[in-house]
Chains A and B, each alone.
Chain A
Amino acid sequence: MTGLSHQEHYPSPRSLRLRALAFDPVLSREIETSEINDVVIKIPWNDDLQIGPVDEYLEVVDYDPASRVFYAPVNLMDPALLAQDGLPPEEGNPQFHQQMVYAIARTTIGHFESALGRPILWSVRLTKEEGTYHKEYVGRLRIYPHAFRAANAYYDPEKKALLFGYFPASKTVGGNTMPGETVFACISHDIVAHETTHAIIDGLHPRFIEPSNIDVLALHEALADIIALFQHFTYPEVLKHQISRTRGQLEQQNLLGELAYQFGQAIGQYGALRSAIGEMDPSTGEWRSHTPDPEKILTTTESHARGALFVAALFDAFLLIYKSRIRDLLRIASGGTGILPAGEIHPDLANRLANEAAKTAGHLLRMSIRALDYCPPVDPTCGDFLRALITADRDLVADDRHHYRTAIIEAFRRWGIYPLDVRNLSAESLVWHVPDDEEQAKFTQLFGGPTGIRQLVPDWDMRADRQEIHEQLRKSRAELHERLMSPAGRTAAAAAHIVLDDPLPSIYCTDDGVPAVEIHSVRPTRRLGPDGQALTELVIEMTQRRRGYLNADDQKKVDEGLIDPPEPDFIMRGGCTLLVDPSTGQVRYCVYKNITSENRLNRMRVLLREGVTPSLYVTYFGNPYLEHYRNIIRGSSPDTSGVELFRILHQPCECQEED
């Protein structure tokens, strides 16, 4: 078999090239955008890529139950496809859909892994056996590109699957969508990136789907949009084209700042589904940019609308940074005035501007992802996320030379998004709490200094087998749990704001009466230190649960020990995230949500009561927020379930009576 051995002389390629749409099919129909819409995406080469496509992370299974048919899986390793970067973009070919949904999801995974410096893991599957829960490793996220006939797409945390729908476009569509034509969610770049992000965040933070405050679901949505938006900037042709078209002024209407163009049109909207920079005025048909309004967040309660404010704020930060970074280029190109002459801009200038935009967007993308490691494990608010962003950025870039942090704070202030628990809006006060010496001493008892910590650091890198990583993490969690329950550990728990002694009766305890603590994660995160050396840190998350009652009097009676706790109405969670430096054994930050906080409890009560818009659905099927907890409490769904909420996230919203 000389032929075979001969082939082995060639090294494997670095990447697999796959054709995809940078946006969605309609942009291929516009003469101006058709050339940039068709992009070639590079994903890491994998000798074991199977038909489906199926790889280590993803499995595309194309079953269309509404039509009762399957669509044959594409073989991307077929020489005929390898030679032409996969199938050409064809709306009518389901195999192209499989290829594209895979390529975009894989790209999104890539962004997360390079920002976090570790392989991502999907959330575990909880199974109940003889009353105890088991965490089952799930290696691959499943993707169903044609799962149902509806203008929707969602991540199903129970099936560990992305479900994409298809539907006939509205009869009143504008733009380039034909009335009644079939629109597919799985070939919208933005929708795929958005849903994949939901799944990745769920792997990191399964509690971020719980409606414990008004921001949680909004934040999930906002992050999914942000990742999709900043991913636009990673396609060089698209970027250059849009820079040229707007003459570098990205605050003008442009494709980079908009999401799901065809989807928006197909459901009868005037423009994109959502935009970070502006919107069409339906009465005049004219585009107008968003104006920051710090009051708006006070009256915006619906998750999408609230998430949109967060996205707008972060996009504003992007524009501030980008504008400051290109100021010199504009001066050079305009003989010092900074005002460009009318007409098209020079292609070289467009390239340079594109470069700056890509750098800025890339940094914000990385920062937004890294901030996830700096979030509390439960009950995050937009303010918390701002603090996480600032802290993450300070760790990444100690010297704020380009004023990224200032720009972010400025933009969030303009949109009225602040944390409630800081004295002022300086970067210093926004950075998370650094434990004092006394607390450090307690943590040292828990972690046993650098030597003790190192035992918890799993030994792996980006090439490690993900199931092995999962196993190692499980062992580290068990080890840490044991240490926490030792006498020394119980002292340290207080420093981490974990309640182990004299618990309120509403706090869930183990059979021996000690408050139950879940070591939610022990995961390493890598970053480059100030001198360019690679640093590995540990992110440790611990959580606790408490019975919550809608009636404050019931709560009081339970907490004062006057009555045995009846079945609760909801679960309140508390816990902490510790960022630990293994080389010193020091806890660098402690981000916590105290389980005993009455403020949080009250806030939650109000949200669960008032936060859901009345509808026929609520009349007959109940308040979905409360149902979420009820199902968990009654054991009819696993503790991390949230498929109803993900579905509802993507349903009609807004309230207001109109004429």
Chain B
Amino acid sequence: MPPSDPSQRIYPPERGVTVRMYATGFGDCFLLAFPGEDGNPRYVLIDCGVHDRYPKGRERLEAIARDIAEATNRHLHVVAVTHEHSDHLYGFMYGEEYFAECEIDELWLAWTEDPDHPVAQELTRLFGKRIQALKVALTRLQAAGNPYAERIALLFGFDLGANTARGMKGNKEILTFLREKSRNPLERPEDYKTPGRGPLEIPGVRGVKGYVLGPPEDVASIKRLDSQKETYLQPLTEETALISAILEAADVPLAGDSQEIQGYPFDATYSVSLEKAVEMDFFREMYGFSDEKGHGPRWRRIESDWLEEGVTQLALRVSGMVNNTSLVLAFALTDATPPKVLLFAGDAQVGNWLSWQKAAWEGMTGRDLIRQTVLYKVGHHGSANATLREKGLEMMESTELVAMLPVHQEWANKQGWHHPDEKVLARLLQRARGRVIRSDTIPDSDSLAPPDESREAEWEPFRKHLAWDKSPDKRWIQYTIEV
């Protein structure tokens, strides 16, 4: 661990905000510094996480947590956690020692974390059953040596609670640490952040309003992940069928004996149990149960086919739905006309994004917030369906638009993942005129060149507002917006 370094301190501008993006590897961690009315800065931390499979994630996040503690003089005025994924959350576990030293005034969590909220309860049930089914299915796929098993485990280990098995804290326990640490009690429904309410204040700061855009308070929107019209499948019905099939298969090995459970397609009289089928010439010769002579060939069997496809889709949907529970925050700097907006989209997917279109407050709408965005925290590490086009990026019309993209492309690509999406990145670069700040390309030099020389003039003010960690660790890069 390197010695503490005072140059890591973060100071806001006189009027405006400084946004520091920590390079956690593959994950989000944003520290915002606002000028307080009393002359002392106020700090807002949005997420602190790294993907649970990211190499040396623990070491890196420990160091970052210490940096945060020092940068803020051990006082975080607001900590916001967008959603329960390791890449947004694990920093609070790895760096618990340092966060424990900090004062935390307010913890901001979405209504989805309110145990008494009826829709949140419905979501908990929804996730619970799916995760249970996924665990069972994963075990079964692993047992069958199915190649999908590893891919799913890699992706969704954190959703499946695989880490609790490895002696790590569960997501809820990490949140409990923060809940106990913070000064504001999260007891009443209004203590949780809900779209349309507010706007929120940052204590001691004027000229900044916080707007909660998401997550939308309905299950249908949370379930909506892709911008697609489903024409052939209806995933929800199907998903239910698959889930009950998986759970049934686990609980009741001999379906032929039990017709009580819903989901079996035929009356028990028609069923031949596995044990009986093994004894029958027809099934032995045609289907086969071993590699011995007289058994049907292995290559034609369908033991885990029904699982690999369905479970992959189910796992993707569960992960996507958790992304869709993202707390989405927009901070409007109201001293500017029109207000300058910082949009922190979490990992919101399509259903979450679309719901912002209808959001409205006195004197402000969701559409205005998108339109007036000058700083966009790119959703879900730049994936293809976490930045909407027509109802998102294309609406952001400010000529000052800057994007901050937390990603580690090389590592993601090595996992076979497409973060960031080529087309999303290309369009971001166009819309933001090259001003896309990435956590995996913190500059080596003292300066940052524009994408092409002709941009030199308009690049200058942008460059002036950038700063980054000049140490070899390259732990952060920050951008200041002045009003």
Residue of A51, A67, A269 near B255 (CB, 8 A) is A67
Answer yes or no: A277 CB below 8 A from chain B CBs: no
Segment 278-310 of B: residues with Cβ below 8 Å from A: 280, 282-283, 286-287, 296, 299-300, 302-306, 309-310
Answer yes or no: B313 CB below 8 A from chain A CBs: yes
Answer yes or no: A158 CB below 8 A from chain B CBs: yes
Bound-complex Cα distance A268 to B236 (A):
11
Answer yes or no: B73 CB below 8 A from chain A CBs: no
Contact B282 A52 (CB under 8 A): yes
Q: A150-B242, A653-B231, A654-B229 are in contact. Are A65 and B306 (CB under 8 A)?
A: yes
Contact B253 A149 (CB under 8 A): no
- Selected interface stretch from A109-117, A532-540, A541-549, A616-624: A616-624
Answer yes or no: A336 CB below 8 A from chain B CBs: no
B253-271 contact mask (Cβ, 8 Å, vs A): 1 or 0: 1111000000111110011
Q: A68-B255, A149-B242 are in contact. Are A267 and B237 (CB under 8 A)?
A: yes
Contact B306 A158 (CB under 8 A): no
A623-638 contact mask (Cβ, 8 Å, vs B): 1 or 0: 1000000000000000
- Selected interface stretch from A92-100, A209-217, A314-322: A92-100
Bound-complex Cα distance A384 to B234 (A):
34
Bound-complex Cα distance A163 to B249 (A):
19
Contact B354 A621 (CB under 8 A): no
User: What residues on A are CB-neighbors of B417 within 8 Å?
Assistant: 619-620
B: number of interface residues (CB 8 Å) = 76
Contact A68 B249 (CB under 8 A): yes
Answer yes or no: A553 CB below 8 A from chain B CBs: no
Which chain A residue has the least Cβ–Cβ distance from B383?
Answer: A619
Residue of A59, A71, A150, A615 near B266 (CB, 8 A) is A71
Residue of A146, A160, A267 near B233 (CB, 8 A) is A267
Q: A69-B271, A304-B231 are in contact. Are A63 and B263 (CB under 8 A)?
A: no
Bound-complex Cα distance A347 to B256 (A):
51
User: What residues on B are CB-neighbors of A170 within 8 Å?
Assistant: 234, 236-237
Bound-complex Cα distance A659 to B391 (A):
9
User: What residues on B are CB-neighbors of A621 within 8 Å?
Assistant: 151, 312, 416
Segment 372-420 of B: residues with Cβ below 8 Å from A: 383-385, 388-391, 416-419
Smallest CB–CB gap between A338 and chain B, Å? 39
Bound-complex Cα distance A454 to B307 (A):
51
Which chain B residue has the least Cβ–Cβ distance from A68?
Answer: B255
Bound-complex Cα distance A184 to B266 (A):
11
Contact A653 B416 (CB under 8 A): no
Bound-complex Cα distance A622 to B416 (A):
7
Residue of B235, B253, B270, B357 near A652 (CB, 8 A) is B235
Bound-complex Cα distance A117 to B283 (A):
34
Bound-complex Cα distance A655 to B423 (A):
15
Contact B419 A653 (CB under 8 A): no
Bound-complex Cα distance A529 to B102 (A):
92
Answer yes or no: B448 CB below 8 A from chain A CBs: no
Contact B228 A655 (CB under 8 A): yes
Contact A652 B240 (CB under 8 A): no
Answer yes or no: B226 CB below 8 A from chain A CBs: yes
Answer yes or no: A57 CB below 8 A from chain B CBs: no
User: What residues on A are CB-neighbors of B282 within 8 Å?
Assistant: 51-52, 73
Contact B237 A167 (CB under 8 A): yes
Bound-complex Cα distance A273 to B276 (A):
38
Contact A652 B272 (CB under 8 A): no
Contact A151 B234 (CB under 8 A): yes
Bound-complex Cα distance A147 to B300 (A):
12
Contact B305 A163 (CB under 8 A): yes
Contact A653 B232 (CB under 8 A): yes
Which chain A residue has the least Cβ–Cβ distance from B283?
Answer: A70
Contact A71 B241 (CB under 8 A): no
Residue of B264, B270, B302, B388 near A72 (CB, 8 A) is B270
User: What residues on A are CB-neighbors of B296 within 8 Å?
Assistant: 61
User: What residues on A are CB-neighbors of B267 within 8 Å?
Assistant: 92
Which chain A residue has the least Cβ–Cβ distance from B227?
Answer: A657
Answer yes or no: A486 CB below 8 A from chain B CBs: no
With most chain A CB atoms within 10 A of its CB, the pick from B225, B286, B417 is: B286
Q: A68-B253, A94-B266, A657-B389 are in contact. Are A159 and B234 (CB under 8 A)?
A: no
Residue of B265, B287, B303, B418 near A146 (CB, 8 A) is B265
Residue of A168, A654, A655 near B237 (CB, 8 A) is A168
Contact B232 A152 (CB under 8 A): yes
Q: A169-B237, A617-B316, A619-B417 are in contact. Are A267 and B232 (CB under 8 A)?
A: yes
Contact A652 B233 (CB under 8 A): yes
User: What residues on A are CB-neighbors of B216 within 8 Å?
Assistant: none
Which chain B residue has the least Cβ–Cβ distance from A179?
Answer: B237
Bound-complex Cα distance A617 to B312 (A):
9
User: What residues on B are CB-neighbors of A650 within 8 Å?
Assistant: 232-233
Smallest CB–CB gap between B221 and chain A, Å? 12
Answer yes or no: A484 CB below 8 A from chain B CBs: no
Answer yes or no: B19 CB below 8 A from chain A CBs: no
Contact B270 A184 (CB under 8 A): no
Which chain A residue has the least Cβ–Cβ distance from B423?
Answer: A614
Segment 33-85 of A: residues with Cβ below 8 Å from B: 51-52, 54, 59, 61, 63-73
Answer yes or no: B122 CB below 8 A from chain A CBs: no
User: What residues on B are CB-neighbors of A125 within 8 Å?
Assistant: 299
Bound-complex Cα distance A147 to B390 (A):
41
Answer yes or no: A166 CB below 8 A from chain B CBs: yes
Segment 171-192 of A: residues with Cβ below 8 Å from B: 171, 182, 184
With most chain A CB atoms within 10 A of its CB, the pick from B309, B316, B419 is: B309
Contact B385 A619 (CB under 8 A): yes
Contact B416 A647 (CB under 8 A): no
Bound-complex Cα distance A273 to B234 (A):
12
Segment 256-308 of A: residues with Cβ below 8 Å from B: 267-269, 273, 304
User: What residues on B are CB-neighbors of A622 within 8 Å?
Assistant: 416, 418
Answer yes or no: A645 CB below 8 A from chain B CBs: no
Contact B286 A54 (CB under 8 A): yes
Answer yes or no: B245 CB below 8 A from chain A CBs: yes
Answer yes or no: A598 CB below 8 A from chain B CBs: no
Q: A167-B238, A616-B320, A651-B232 are in contact. Are A149 and B245 (CB under 8 A)?
A: yes
Q: A65-B303, A142-B300, A170-B237 are in contact. Are A94 and B227 (CB under 8 A)?
A: no
User: What residues on A are CB-neighbors of B312 within 8 Å?
Assistant: 617, 621
Answer yes or no: A443 CB below 8 A from chain B CBs: no
Q: A142-B300, A657-B227 are in contact. Are A620 and B237 (CB under 8 A)?
A: no
Contact B357 A659 (CB under 8 A): yes
Contact B227 A168 (CB under 8 A): no
Answer yes or no: B155 CB below 8 A from chain A CBs: yes
Bound-complex Cα distance A166 to B266 (A):
11
User: What residues on A are CB-neighbors of B300 within 8 Å?
Assistant: 142, 159-161
Answer yes or no: B368 CB below 8 A from chain A CBs: no
Answer yes or no: B184 CB below 8 A from chain A CBs: no
Which chain B residue has the least Cβ–Cβ distance from A165?
Answer: B306
Contact B313 A151 (CB under 8 A): no
Answer yes or no: B452 CB below 8 A from chain A CBs: no
Contact A658 B238 (CB under 8 A): no
Contact B319 A619 (CB under 8 A): no
Segment 603-619 of A: residues with Cβ below 8 Å from B: 613-619
Q: Enumerate the 10 nearest inter-chain pairs by beta-carbon distance, A residue then B residue, closest first.
A: A614-B384, A148-B306, A652-B230, A69-B271, A66-B245, A70-B277, A70-B272, A654-B229, A267-B234, A619-B383
Sample (8) of A-B pairs whose CB atoms are under 8 Å apart: A66-B249, A160-B300, A168-B241, A613-B226, A616-B385, A617-B312, A619-B419, A654-B231
Known: A66-B245, A149-B263, A615-B228. 6 other contacts (CB 8 A): A52-B282, A67-B263, A148-B306, A170-B237, A616-B316, A654-B230
